[in-house]
Structure 1
Amino acid sequence: MTDQVCVGAIAGSYGVRGEVRLKSFCAEAEAIADYSPLSDESGQRSFTVTLTRPIKNGFAARLGGISTKEEADALKGLQLYAPRDRLPATEDDEYYHADLIGLTVYDTGGTELGIVRSVMDHGAGDLLEIHGPALKTTVLLPFTKACVPTVDLASGRIVADPPEGLF
Structure 2
Amino acid sequence: MTQPDRVCVGAIAGAFGVQGEVRLKSFCAEPGDIAGYAPLYTEDGSRAFDVTLTRATKNGLGARLSGVNTKEEADALRGTTLWADRDKLPSLPDDEFYYADLIGLTVVDTGGEKLGTVRAVHNHGAGDILEIFASGRKQALLLPFTKAIVPTVDLTAGRIVADPPEEMQ
Give me the TM-score of the superposition, normalised by structure 1: 0.94
Between the aligned partners of 2:91 and 2:68, the Cα distance in structure 1 is 31
Aligned twin of 2:68: 66
1:12-161 aligned at under 5 Å gives the runs 12-161=14-163
- Structure 1 residue 136: Cα displacement: 2.1
Between the aligned partners of 1:121 and 1:78, the Cα distance in structure 2 is 19
- Structure 1 residue 44: Cα displacement: 2.4
Between the aligned partners of 2:70 and 2:46, the Cα distance in structure 1 is 21
Deviations 1:47-98 (A, max 9, x none): 0001111111111110011111121122111111000000000111110111
Give me the TM-score of the superposition, normalised by structure 2: 0.93
Which sections of structure 1, spanning at least 5 residues, go unmatched? none
Which sections of structure 2, spanning at least 5 residues, go unmatched? none
Count of residues paired in the alignment: 167
Between the aligned partners of 1:128 and 1:5, the Cα distance in structure 2 is 17
- Structure 1 residue 152: Cα displacement: 1.1
Between the aligned partners of 1:22 and 1:90, the Cα distance in structure 2 is 23
- Structure 1 residue 27: Cα displacement: 1.1
Which amino acid in the other structure matches residue 66 of structure 2?
A: G
Sequence identity (%) = 66
Between the aligned partners of 2:74 and 2:127, the Cα distance in structure 1 is 34
Tell me the secondary structure at the aligned position of residue 168 of structure 2: coil
Tell me the secondary structure at the aligned position of residue 167 of structure 2: coil
Tell me the secondary structure at the aligned position of residue 165 of structure 1: helix
Deviations 1:5-56 (A, max 9, x none): 0101111111110101111111111111111111112222110001111111
Between the aligned partners of 2:87 and 2:166, the Cα distance in structure 1 is 40
Tell me the secondary structure at the aligned position of residue 34 of structure 1: helix
Superposition RMSD in Å: 1.4
